[in-house]
């Protein structure tokens, strides 16, 4: 997806903000040009998913693309029990990433090792499940919605649900509904982007940073920061801020401290298209 968007824009530098499993659909924010400088902020944001799991079978990948490695009895499904099993997964926790993941060991993605039949130790990582809600269930399947922190694997969550119900499980469908701060915003399919008569529509890179305070600079202040110098801006907030020059152009990120002192943190340069797309 990333490479196809790059081709549409003349192959600028670009990066995505969190890979999706081959099975999955949904929002994939892509940063173009200088907007790659805010990719780390987007990676750290809350994600929302809608998932469907099937009870009674566990696969080596955790989803329906893998090989069945365990079969279990499927309990009779009852709404109260399902809701309790899901709600028990809310909150901060430690999660061990699956072998079939893009995490790297000695420069090799774990999924490549897994495809060779290798298993390595994976340290548990701190994640948080903010919300998890049962949407529907029938026979051996159930569908649920989850909002979670960076680094959460819904395939692992599905397996935990299976164990909590006295069975085993794997994902059969997964859709990323949003990646903050783009909750509820329009998404474009690759096919729709390719059918456009012109280049894909891009959001301004500052739209990835609505949680940071904005600072309006004078011409002299903007010039000082662009030369790597600090400047004083009355009322500037402490911590990271968004910087705008006298013409309202987004300049990048700065860092404010006591007394209104502001220093450049990560400034943008003009080098073609910059923005964030959401195929």
Catalytic residues: 21
Task: Report d(CA 47, CA 129) in Å as an integer.
Answer: 10
The bridge status of strand 104-105 relative to strand 108-109 is antiparallel
Tokens of 132: 């998890």
Decide: helix, strand or coil at residue 32: strand
Give the H/E segment covering residue 156: helix 154-164
Which alpha helices (DSSP H) does the chain contain, by range? 2-8, 39-43, 79-87, 110-115, 154-164, 190-195, 219-226
Task: Report d(CA 236, CA 159) in Å as an integer.
Answer: 47
Tokens of 216: 């309006």
CA dihedral 61, 66, 67, 72 (to 10 degrees): 60
Task: Report d(CA 193, CA 203) in Å as an integer.
Answer: 14
Compute how many other C-beta atoms are within 10 angstroms of the C-beta atom of residue 14.
19
The bridge status of strand 91-95 relative to strand 125-138 is antiparallel
Among 154, 183, 149, smallest CA distance to 21 is for: 154
Residue 201 DSSP code = P
Decide: helix, strand or coil at residue 192: helix
């Amino acid at each position: 997806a990333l490479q196809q968007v790059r081709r549409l824009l003349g192959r600028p530098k670009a990066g995505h903000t969190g890979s999706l499993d081959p099975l999955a659909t949904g929002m994939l924010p892509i940063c173009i040009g200088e907007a790659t400088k805010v990719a780390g902020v987007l990676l750290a944001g809350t994600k929302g998913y809608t998932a469907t799991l099937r009870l009674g079978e566990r696969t080596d990948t955790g989803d329906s693309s893998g090989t069945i490695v365990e079969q279990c009895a499927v309990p009779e499904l009852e709404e109260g029990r399902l809701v309790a099993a899901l709600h028990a997964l809310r909150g901060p926790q430690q999660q061990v990433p699956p072998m079939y993941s893009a995490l790297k060991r000695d420069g090799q993605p774990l999924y490549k090792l897994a495809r060779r039949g290798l298993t390595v130790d994976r340290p548990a990582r701190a994640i948080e499940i903010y919300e998890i809600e049962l949407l529907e269930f029938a026979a051996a399947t159930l569908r649920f919605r989850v909002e979670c922190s960076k680094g959460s694997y819904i395939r692992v969550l599905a397996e935990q649900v299976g164990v909590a119900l006295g069975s085993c499980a794997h994902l059969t469908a997964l859709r990323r509904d949003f990646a903050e701060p783009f909750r509820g915003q329009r998404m474009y399919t690759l096919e729709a982007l390719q059918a456009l008569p012109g280049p894909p529509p891009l959001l301004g890179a500052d739209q990835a940073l609505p949680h940071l305070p904005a600072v309006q600079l004078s011409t002299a202040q903007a010039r000082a920061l662009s030369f790597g110098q600090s400047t004083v801006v009355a009322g500037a907030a402490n911590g990271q801020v968004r910087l705008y020059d006298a013409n309202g152009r987004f300049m990048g990120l700065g860092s404010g401290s006591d007394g209104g002192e502001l220093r450049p943190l990560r400034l943008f340069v003009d080098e073609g298209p910059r923005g964030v797309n959401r195929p």
